[in-house]
Amino acid sequence: MNNEVQQFKAEFFKALAHPMRIRILEVLSEGEKTVNEIQTILGSEGSAVSQQLAVLRSKNVVSSVKEGTSVIYSLRDPLIKELLAVAKQIFDKQLVSAISMLEDMRKN
């Protein structure tokens, strides 16, 4: 059972392991969007965005609803927004540490 949980977690984090997918999740953290809206915000071509959305959808990270000719995407779980915020805090701390280390190296 524990191995299955670890595998599930690994698959979840694999779904996040792409810069465009992270950016899509950040955009969806602000609210639901159509594919065209996501493409415009990212300044990326449709096929690339659609491909990454398909990965996120297959891993149950985002959900989609078809309305007329549009598909509207949203975060499946609002906690993903918090996960991204915590990840940014961790990144910021690591960045501050790296900058501090580089400044120390320049002084020596």
Helix spans in the chain (H): 2-16, 19-29, 35-42, 46-58, 79-107
44: in domain = yes
Please tell me what DSSP assigns to residue 77: S
CATH code at 46?
1.10.10.10
Q: Which domain holds residue 37?
A: 2-76
Q: What is the pLDDT of residue 38?
A: 96
Q: Is the pLDDT assigned to residue 1 strictly greater than 90?
A: no
24: in domain = yes
Q: 18: Cβ–Cβ under 8 A, 6 or more apart, which residues?
A: 52, 55
* Tally of domains in the chain: 1
81: in domain = no
**How far, in Å, CA of 17 to CA of 29, rounded?**
17
Amino acid at 70: S
pLDDT digits (tens, 9 = 90+) for 36-50: 999 999 998 878 999
pLDDT digits (tens, 9 = 90+) for 83-95: 999 999 998 888 8
Average pLDDT, the chain: 91
Q: 53: Cβ–Cβ under 8 A, 6 or more apart, which residues?
A: 24, 35, 38, 62, 64, 73
pLDDT digits (tens, 9 = 90+) for 2-47: 889 899 889 889 989 999 999 999 999 999 999 999 999 999 887 8
pTM of the model: 0.82
